[in-house]
Amino acid sequence: MEAITKHFEASDGINSDYLLRELMMRMLQPNEKVDAYAEDIELKVTKLRQAKGDFADWQQASLLLSSSVRVFPDLTREYANWLNSHDRKTLKLTTVLQRLRAAEHQRQQLESQSQPASRATAQVAHVTSEHQDKGRKRSKQQRKRNKGVQDKKARTNCGNCGGDGHWWLECTETTGKPLKPELERRKKDRAQGRQPPASLVNSVRVVQVAQDDGQSRGLFAGLSLTS
């Protein structure tokens, strides 16, 4: 028990094994800045060294690269290939930081280039959705109009045969009965765009109104509105 207590209270209460394990488990996160990640690693390495733990600069550089595999897998793969022909102890911390910052800058550029395409895709989807909504509304309105026409026809008596459910213009096509002579003439007039003649009563009324209006003007023609 005493040996365990001495082990955990060594180096002013800081356990180097715990610090080393915490350092080795530290990974670069997808949305984390490279500089913030490097500063956190530097802080943990400093604490480890203060606890009389050994951790060289090349080890810190190697850790920065290997712990960035989630975010920069290509760079980590390049480092693994580099180790096949180089001694890892020759790895420079400054060089690793430069490579990580360059990879971060490249990733930011790719993300900024992909954003306009994403917005354009979203706009196309929005416009397509609007067109589909408008098309559905038009179809619904058309069905409503058609239903209104059908309901009106169902309540209408044919002027040709007296039956229900169709108009006199559709009578021959629906029932096979020929149109009455006067309806046949109306159908031809419609086809030729001619309006039916005004009735004699309406003509007489128009003439009478015109005559009365002329007589009224004659009565007031000799009067002065200022006298």
Tokens of 6: 């001495």
DSSP-derived secondary structure letter, 60: H
Task: Give the whole-angstrom CA distance, residue 158 versus residue 42.
Answer: 95
Tokens of 135: 């098309």
**10 Å Cβ neighbour count for 222?**
6
Residue 227: strand, helix, or coil: coil
- Helices 57-66 and 34-50 sit at what angle, rounded to 10 degrees? 140
Local confidence pLDDT in tens for the 227 residues of the chain? 454 445 444 545 568 889 999 999 999 999 999 999 999 999 999 999 998 888 999 999 999 999 999 999 999 999 999 999 999 999 999 999 999 999 999 999 998 887 765 565 666 666 677 767 777 777 777 777 766 666 665 667 787 787 777 777 788 887 888 878 887 888 888 777 765 554 444 444 444 444 445 444 444 344 443 44
| C-alpha angle 111-115-119 in degrees, rounded to nearest 5 | 165
Task: Give the whole-angstrom CA distance, residue 185 versus residue 210.
Answer: 32
**Distance, C-alpha 137 to centroid of its chain:** 19
Task: Give the whole-angstrom CA distance, residue 221 versus residue 183.
Answer: 50
Backbone Cα Rg of the chain: 48
**Distance, C-alpha 74 to centroid of its chain:** 33
